[in-house]
A and B are shown apart, each in its own frame.
Chain A
Amino acid sequence: MPSKSKTVQLSHGGGGKEMDQLIKSVFFNAFDNPILSAEEDAAKLNLSGPVAFTTDSFTVSPLFFAGGDIGKLAIAGTVNDLAMMAAEPQYLSCSFIIEEGFAINDLKTIVNSMAKELHKSGARIVCGDTKVVPKGCADGVFINTTGVGRILNPNVSVKNIQPGDAIIVSRDVGRHGATILMSREGLSLESDLSSDCATLWPIVEQLVATSTPIHAMRDATRGGLSAVLNEWSKASNVGIDVDEDAIPVADEVKGLCELFGFEPYDLANEGTFILAVPKAAAAGAVEIMKRYGNCEHAAIIGHVTEAHAGKVVLTTPWGSHRYLDLPQGELLPRIC
């Protein structure tokens, strides 16, 4: 009986009875809401005013890692993209591409972790799609999520960063990248290191509710802190000065970077964001962030300047300067 199958079969993507069973027993069960269970060809939404709209595909290996899994990542990632536009995450779509032979129990774990993460922002999955591809054509599971949300502060933009702004980071950087690297490189290092993977909306909601004059926000995902600051300096045509001593980095992340020859600022994060606010509002913003969950290490790490537009300059603890450049190419361990 296909319904007893412990792994996903090509027939589960065939549009027939098996597929219906899989969708009902796994997806509908976890994501249950009236819009989804209406089972129309497309979800009917009520939207008004300015809306943020974003999409992201998730292909992480390994699928399960310390601090999260691909499901948590797929929800947090898209919800965070909306949050970074000061938009309240409302509706998400989710598409699965599943490799033939993938364990149904693993699929359930992933889907349940998605449902759990959705509760943190209140967003709902209102439509979806499932495809099963032959063995070898995908690496376990790929997930795409797309989201829309109501914009609460229309002034937040990468083009809105101004000289005199303070740059704030919400927590220590590089955790997700370091966690994934550690599980991949097979160094058998013992560590309590876990990914920072988290939904950022509850923190952003507080910043918005307290009328913090946010100029820009961005979650420091692939490319890490370096990528965000470089993108900002170019998008707003400003210079950014960063004080290396002020950037929070966990000892475990520093240690891994020492071993492999990486910079913590280049490593990916999945629940860490960067904020630009006028200097006068910076201390207040940090205070609000610290009061919420994961932000006890929130810190002002630098400021925006008219000098060296388009460049990010890092000041070392001994006062020398260097450019903090965009990371390039594949992250590969150095040779010696």
Chain B
Amino acid sequence: MQLKDLYQGFRHPETIHTLAKSIAEHAAKVDETINIMEVCGGHTHTIMKYGLLQLLPDNINFIHGPGCPVCVMPKERIDHAAALANLPDVILVCLGDMIRVPGSKGSLAKWRSEGCDIRPIYDPLDTLTIAKENPDKTVIFFAIGFETSTPMTAVLLDQAQHQGIENIYFHINHVLVPPAIDAVMAEPKTKVNAFIGPAHVSVISGAKVYQPAVDKYHTPVVVSGFEPVDVLESILQIVKQRTENKAELEVQYNRSVTYDGNVAAQAMIDKYFDVRDSFRWRGLGPIANSALKLRDEFRHRDAEIIFKEHLPTTLIDDHKACQCGDILRGLANPVDCKVFGRGCTPETPLGSCMVSSEGACNAYYRYGGLTAKKGTSNAK
């Protein structure tokens, strides 16, 4: 089997047209607007990149959710990374995309150009090699991401423990999807009445984590894969639920996601992490129980504790004109924002949603225009 066999069928033009037609037929029976929040930035990217909005009827709208790990990191956390990178004999290791996210005094790419040793990696386990090759250095892994990437950090910590590699520390910024859904639904003005559930996150967490949202808010949640056929099939499942006035949890991405998820990975996460009382999300503000930290017994590896005196404590909000908060709550669309594409571009992002390719504003900026036509009316 080749890699292309895994995705080609999910980009099959005839299948895409058939699904789009079926969605239109079913949506015609619904006399309301279905406002679907795709929680995960990967789905935002799929919808925009493959021009799926152009294939859908007018009463299906997308509201782009807060599921982009790079986007939801507040500037003060990036400032932490910069402060750590500026300490003597420190190598700061982070996942690739993180390096261009601006903090209050510039991005990690800028600090790297000024001589800080900052290494973007693809596989967190590369940190082990870096630490072994540099025994005299303090190697700090700046960990970000949702449930998808948390197990990789846990495995890194597990390996560091087992191999006795003492010079690896962790700055943990892992966040959780369900509390973010609750934060969106806590907004009285929200128009969201259906969710597309994340793909990779759900592989780890299982679909079970969305059952409370289905029960509490009476909204359909369909866990979807990232390919165009996946997303369209999920939309069809949502529309069918609306026509039958149902609100159920379904898994479209059943080739990878089970109800219970990856139990071994969950155990690994539990072994090394605790839930934080509160975490401040960029654009959304503080959300209770929405992020993780290292368990107390690993405090000797927790960079937030060990290097506390060097870490700035000032909270930094986005530019006043930036509407990322409203966009992440589904109250505004990227094109509604006054600075979108003017003061705020992927090269000089003012707000979180423009930063990563999975952010809503970035996807609109990159693929927008043609694709975003329908989107302009989403949140009005």
List residues of chain B with CB within 8 A of the CB of A329.
100, 346-347
Q: How far is the CB of B141 from chain A (nearest CB, A)?
A: 14
Of the residues A261, A317, A323, A328, contact of B368 by C-beta under 8 Å: A323
Q: Given A316-B50, A320-B55, A335-B95, 10 other A-B contacts at CB below 8 A?
A: A187-B123, A254-B4, A255-B2, A320-B51, A322-B48, A323-B368, A329-B347, A334-B97, A335-B69, A335-B97
List residues of chain A with CB within 8 A of the CB of B145.
335-336
Q: Is the CB of A330 within 8 A of B51?
A: no
Of the residues B2, B357, B367, B370, contact of A261 by C-beta under 8 Å: B357
List residues of chain A with CB within 8 A of the CB of B52.
320
A320 to B357, CA, bound (A): 20
28 A-B residue pairs with Cβ-Cβ distance under 8 Å, sorted by A, are A251-B4, A255-B4, A311-B369, A313-B370, A317-B13, A318-B17, A319-B17, A321-B54, A321-B371, A322-B370, A322-B371, A328-B347, A329-B346, A330-B109, A332-B96, A332-B97, A332-B100, A333-B95, A333-B96, A334-B357, A335-B69, A335-B96, A335-B97, A335-B98, A335-B358, A336-B69, A336-B145, A336-B200
A243 CB within 8 Å of chain B = no
List residues of chain A with CB within 8 A of the CB of B357.
261, 334
Q: Is the CB of A321 within 8 A of B70?
A: no
Also in contact, A332 and B99, with CB within 8 A (given A320-B50, A322-B51, A323-B367)? yes
A20 CB within 8 Å of chain B = no
Which B residues between 120 and 162 are near A, CB-CB below 8 angstroms?
A: 120, 122-123, 126, 144-146, 148-149
List residues of chain A with CB within 8 A of the CB of B4.
251, 254-255
Shortest Cβ distance from B69 into A: residue = A335
Which B residues between 143 and 186 are near A, CB-CB below 8 angstroms?
A: 144-146, 148-149
B264 CB within 8 Å of chain A = no
Q: How far is the CB of A117 from chain B (nearest CB, A)?
A: 32
Shortest Cβ distance from A184 into B: residue = B122
Shortest Cβ distance from B40 into A: residue = A336
**Which of A317, A322, A325 has most B Cβ within 10 Å?**
A322
**Which of A255, A258, A261, A334 has most B Cβ within 10 Å?**
A334
A332 to B119, CA, bound (A): 12
A185 CB within 8 Å of chain B = yes
Q: Per-position contact with A for B274-313: 1 when CB-CB < 8 Å, else 0?
A: 0000000000000000000000000000000000000000
Q: How far is the CB of B67 from chain A (nearest CB, A)?
A: 10
Chain B residues bordering chain A, tally (CB within 8 A): 47
Q: Chain A residues in contact with chain B, CB under 8 A?
A: 185-187, 251, 254-255, 258-261, 311, 313, 316-323, 325, 328-330, 332-336
List residues of chain B with CB within 8 A of the CB of A334.
96-97, 356-358
Q: How far is the CB of A181 from chain B (nearest CB, A)?
A: 10
Q: Is the CB of A316 within 8 A of B51?
A: yes
Q: Per-position contact with A for B10-25: 1 when CB-CB < 8 Å, else 0?
A: 0101001100000000
List residues of chain A with CB within 8 A of the CB of B2.
251, 255
Shortest Cβ distance from A245 into B: residue = B13
List residues of chain A with CB within 8 A of the CB of B368.
323
Q: How far is the CB of A201 from chain B (nearest CB, A)?
A: 34
List residues of chain B with CB within 8 A of the CB of A185.
122
List residues of chain A with CB within 8 A of the CB of B98.
335
List residues of chain B with CB within 8 A of the CB of A313.
370
Q: Is the CB of B11 within 8 A of A317?
A: yes
Q: How far is the CB of A317 from chain B (nearest CB, A)?
A: 5
**Which of A185, A187, A311, A336 has most B Cβ within 10 Å?**
A336
List residues of chain A with CB within 8 A of the CB of B123.
187
Q: How far is the CB of A266 from chain B (nearest CB, A)?
A: 11
A261 to B346, CA, bound (A): 17
Which B residues between 27 and 63 are near A, CB-CB below 8 angstroms?
A: 42, 48-52, 54-55
A320 to B369, CA, bound (A): 13
Q: Is the CB of A333 within 8 A of B122?
A: yes
Shortest Cβ distance from B68 into A: residue = A335
Of the residues B17, B126, B144, B366, contact of A335 by C-beta under 8 Å: B144
